[in-house]
Structure 1
């Protein structure tokens, strides 16, 4: 990966819908080499996909919670990770070093909907010993870009 590849990635992080022509101009290449580099970045898994930034409040998902999860032991870790990966309301999940074991980011329409999700889904995840929730008051920054 060289400086031109990084420039391509920076431009695409700013606007993933830009045309290949606009991208080529933006990074100082002609269309064919730019397109080749773009496909190479996609084929090598550097570019994992393209998405859209949706305003959660506009789709009735304006309630956000961060949940810290501690497991009883490591024997249920794989099952926990698999199930978390299948639950749509969990939009981010990280395994952590030390305590707690995981950090989850959950979206819901409101507090009662989150409470139902907590009671019906989160407490039933494999191996859960402890859940600690905190409610997001305000998002200061989201959709961060990698500092390329």
Structure 2
């Protein structure tokens, strides 16, 4: 779906605050409420807006420890990858999972209460997935930037 400048302004505003009322959103992007609501509905129907969520502060909910786990599988065939992805999808501690090109097969972002919590998770869950050959864990020392906002420029 090609996005015009108004669509981009709507999406930018909603990325910053998904709880804006339609009237507030319309005012922020320079439309009247009815056309603004129509545009939002079209963006939702087209799948440009997937869903609305509340972003939580991980430490405040007891999950302030983040680990990036690089996973190597025993094989890259469809069955092995399928078994691994099926197992990963059942683990709520996995907040992101990527099939990679390059050195490792998968990159996972895992949240845990602390180092011991992650160690238990790795031993009790990740290490028990039959398809896993090895796991390398990287622990970030400081978060420099984290955003859910996509940069919506006119070149999109």
Q: TM-score, normalised by structure 2?
A: 0.90
Q: 1:42 to 1:126 in 2, by over 3 A?
A: farther
1:4 aligns with 2:6: yes
1:109 aligns with 2:113: yes
The Cα of 1:72 is off from its aligned counterpart by 1.4
C-alpha distance in 2 between matches for 1:26 and 1:87: 39
2:102 alignment counterpart: 98
Segments of structure 1 that go 5 or more residues without pairing to the other structure are: none
The Cα of 1:135 is off from its aligned counterpart by 1.1
2:93 alignment counterpart: 89
C-alpha distance in 2 between matches for 1:86 and 1:140: 29
1:5-25 CA-to-partner distances (Å, cap 9, x unmatched) read 111100101111111111111
The Cα of 1:118 is off from its aligned counterpart by 0.4
The Cα of 1:80 is off from its aligned counterpart by 1.1
SS at match of 1:74: coil
2:21 alignment counterpart: 19
C-alpha distance in 2 between matches for 1:25 and 1:126: 54
2:35 alignment counterpart: 33
Segments of structure 2 that go 5 or more residues without pairing to the other structure are: none
The Cα of 1:94 is off from its aligned counterpart by 0.9
The Cα of 1:139 is off from its aligned counterpart by 1.4
C-alpha distance in 2 between matches for 1:100 and 1:122: 15
Could you tell which deviates more after superposition, 124-133 or 28-37? 124-133
The Cα of 1:125 is off from its aligned counterpart by 2.0
The Cα of 1:42 is off from its aligned counterpart by 0.8
Q: CA RMSD in A?
A: 1.1
